[in-house]
Structure 1
Amino acid sequence: MTSLRRNREFNLLWGSQSLSDLGDGVASLALALLVPAETGSAVSAGLAGTLSHVARLAFRLPAGVLVDRIDRRRVMVACDLVRLTGFAALALAVFAGRAGFLLIVVVAVVDAAAGALFGTAEDAALRSIVPVAQLPAAVARNEARSYGASLAGPPLGGFLFGLGHAVPFLGNAVSSVVSVVAVLLIRKPLQGKIEKPQPYGAAFAEGFRFVFANAFLRAVLLVAVPLNFAVGGILFTVIVALQQNGTPPAIIGLTETIVAAGGLLGALCAPAIQSRLSLPALTRAICWTAAALLAVSALLVPGVAAAIPLGLTVFLGPACNAALFGAQAAITPDRLQGRVISIVMVVATSMAAAAPILAGVVVAAWSAPAAILLFAAAVVVSAVTATFSRGIRQAAASALAPVRS
C-alpha cells in the first residue's frame, strides 16, 4: 500500500487546502478589521461575523445532498471560483475606497456558504483517494492542517492588513487559484457512480436514517456533542474569568494560542497514538482523560494556567477524531458520504453554539469554577458512551472492511 506521503492525489488536495485554510484565516481576521475601519462600528463587525457563521451552518445540510448528486470535482472548482470572484471584487473595492458594509457582508456570507459546500465535498471525496486503512491517518493530517492555519492565519492576516487593507483579500484570492489548479490535477475520480437524483427531502431523509439507524454513528454523536460543547464552553469561561480578573488582552489571547498549539501537536502525534490503541480503548482513554483534565481547569481559573489542561484535552482530540471519523468514512457508502458527513457535523457542533451563553449565565450566578465543572461533567457522558457503547466495539471490527457503494 502506498503511504500517504507518496499518495499524489491526497498530497495535491492536502497541500492546496493547507494554503487555502491559511488564506481563510488571513481573510477572516482581515474582514473583522475591515468592517470597523470602514464603518467605525464594532457592532457592525459582530453582525458580519454572526451572519457568516449562520450561513456556514445553514449551508451544511443542503451541501451534503448536493455533493452526493453532483460531480464533487465540479462542486469544489465552482466553490473556489465563487470565492475567488468575491475576494477579488472586495480587494478592488477596498483599493477604490468603495468597500461598503453591504459588500463586505455579501462577500463574507458567500465565502462561508462556498466554504461549507467545498469542505463537505472534500471530506466526502477523501474515501475515493485514500485507502480505507489509511483514512484515520488522513483525517489526522487534515486536522493538523486546520490547527496550523488557525495558529498562523490571524497573525499573518494582521501583518498583511497593516501593509494594505486589500492585501489579505488578494492573498486569499490567490489561494483559491492554487486550489482550483490542484483539484483539476487530481487524476482519480472523487466519487463513485452518481445515482439518479432524488427529491431533496427524500435524499436528506435517506442520509438521516442511515446516521441514526447505525449504532456506531449514534455513538459518535454521543461522544462528539458533549466534547465540543465542553471545550467551547470552558474556553469561553476561562476568557471571561481572565477579563474579570483584569488580565491584559495580550495575555488573554495566549489562552487561545495554547489551545490551538495543543490541537496542532495532537494532530501530529495522532497516528502514533492510534497505532498503540484499538478504537474502543483509544476512545475510552481519551474521553475519561479529557473529563479529568477539564475538571483540573476549575482549580486553576482565573489564571492563564487554566488553559493548559484545556490545551492537553485538545491535544487528545485529533487522535479521537481521526479514529472515529476515519471509521465513519470507512463504513459509509460513497453515495451517502456527503449527507452523512453534513448531518454528523451539524449535530456534533449544534450544542457548542449554546455553550458561551450557558457559561455566561453560570459564571454570573455562581462562579467560573462552577461553570468549568459543569462542562467537565458533560464530558463524562462522552466517556460513559465510549465505555459501554456496543456500536464503537462493533466498529472496531468492521471499520477497516470496505463497504459496497
Structure 2
Amino acid sequence: MIPSLLPTYNRAPLSFVSGEGSWLTEADGRRFLDLGAGIAVNALGHANPALVGALTEQAGKLWHLSNLYQIPQQQALAEKLVEETFADTVFFTNSGTEACELAVKMARKYWYEKGQPERVEIITFEGSFHGRSAAGIAAAGSEKMTKGFGPILGGFTHLPWGDHDALRAAVSENTAAILIEPVQGEGGIRPLPDQCLKGLRDLCDETGALLILDEVQCGVGRTGKLFAHEWSGIEPDIMMVAKGIGGGFPLGAVLAREEAASGMVAGTHGSTYGGNPLACAVGLKVMEIVSDPAFLAEVNARAGGLRQKLEGLVAAHPDVFEGVRGAGLMLGLKCKVAPIDVVKAGYEAGVLSVPAADNVVRLLPALNITESDISEAVARLDKAASAVSEGLKA
C-alpha cells in the first residue's frame, strides 16, 4: 500500500526536531553537525536570530497579498538586488525550479519580440541540474531526469562539459541562449574555469545569444563572492537565484538586464505566492547580511581553513578519497568509494553531508559556520572515513 507521503525520496532514518547555527538535534537527542545546510539553503544556519526576527516581525503584520497589489517588502528586496548586481529588474518566485521556467520563457520571448521567433534553441551542458519542472528536466536532458516523462519539452541542445569545439559548432542562427551553472552542484561540484565563463560571454556577445546563469546553488555568498560569476569579471543577461536567498524560507528570483527582460510585459508571467511579504522580509535580511564585504571576507577565510583541513583528511584516507574540489564553501570530496557510503558513515559519526554525481560528497555548510565547528566537523568526517576504511578491509 502506498504511504501517505508520496515515496519519491530515499530519506535517511533521521528526524530532526530543532537546530541552532550549524547544529541539528535529532528526536532521540543526538546532535549532528550540518554540512549540508538543507542543500545550500540555510545560508546563515538554523534558527538564525536575525532571520527569526525579520520573519516574526513580518508575520505579525501581513503574510500574503498576491501580486494584485504593491508589496513594499518585495520592492525593497528588488532594489537591493539591483543595487548589488548586474540586474536592472527582478521577478520573485518560490523556488529555483520556477526561476528556470521564467528564464527559459524570458529568453524565448526576447527573440520573439525581436522578430526572430525561430530563435528558441537553448544550449545546456552534461551534468547540469536546473530543477524538476518540464523546462528544468528538458534543460538537463539526462535519462535520469527525463525517463518516463515524455514527450520532453523541445528546443534544448545538450553538450559535453568542457567541449569548446562542440559549443562553437552548436551555436547557430536559432540559438536563443546558453544556460550554465558557474559551479555545478548536483553534477559533482564542478567549477567552470573563469576563462571558460569569459569565453561564453564573448561567444554570446559575438552571436547575440543571451547568457543565462543558474546560480541557484552557487549564489548568495556560497563561493565567497555575492554571486559566483563575479570571480570571472563577467556579467550574465539573465540569472536564476534561489536556495540561500531565503535563508531557509522558500524564495527564488530571476534577475535580468533591461534588454533581456524587454519581452516580459504585463500578463506574460505571474505567481500567486512569489514575492510574498514573509519571504521578501526574510530575503532582504539575508541580502543585508550576505552582501556585506566584511561578511564575504569571513566566508573566504572559513573556506580556506575548511579546504586545508579537508586536504589533510584526503591525505589521511587515500583508500576513501581522491581529492577536494569546489569554490568557497561549496566543496566536494571526490571519492574512491560510493559517496553514499561516506554519507551514511557520517550519520553514525554525527555529521551530515550530501551525495552528488561523479562520485562526490558535497559539503555546503552555513556561510557563518564557526572555526570550532569546522574543526569538529572534519574530526567527525575523519571518524566516518575511518569506518568506511574498516569496511573495505572486512
Same fold (TM over 0.5): no
Report which of the two has the higher share of strand. Answer: 2
* Larger RCO (CA under 8 A, 6+ residues apart): 1
Give TM-score, length-normalised by structure 2.
Answer: 0.28
